[in-house]
Amino acid sequence: MARLELDRAFARSPRGALKIARVLLALATFLCFVASNAHEAYAALAGLEMGITLLFLLLYLLKLDAKMRWLFWPLADIFNSVIAALFLLVVCLFAVIVKSNKGTLAGGVLGLILLVLCVVDTVLLCKKISLARPRGRNAPTR
């Protein structure tokens, strides 16, 4: 049976710290929505964001992205971050505007901060993809 090794360097990197922050902030947002008896869609979005981001964090921590080469994982992560940012924008703006109680308002504000982290994650991943392209083929000839 193959052993899974933990990538400690990823956990200490800016991308790793950002993923951990996204999971923790999504957890806090989820707890605010659940504790305030907010609409189920608010809690469902925060819960899904927490779960999917946690799965991507585990994928990179356990180096499973290197073992499962059939998908370009950074691109899938970018799509996840962009779609999560769009959903968070809509749902958390509704939560902040409606502000049925303080828990919903707090969850909406935390969700908007989470949206900013999603955008930052997308930018970091785009830089990683653009830096990871092959350099030999596109290099100018003399």
- How far, in Å, CA of 110 to CA of 116, rounded? 10
pTM for this predicted structure: 0.82
- How far, in Å, CA of 93 to CA of 10, rounded? 32
- How far, in Å, CA of 57 to CA of 23, rounded? 9
Residue 65 near residue 59 (C-beta atoms within 8 A): yes
Q: Which two tokens stand for residue 11?
A: 């956990």
What pLDDT score does 106 carry? 92
Q: Which of 87, 100, 118, 117 is nearest to 33 (CA)?
A: 100
Condensed to tens digits (0 to 9), the pLDDT of residues 4-58 reads: 778 788 888 888 899 999 999 999 999 999 999 888 889 999 999 999 999 989 8
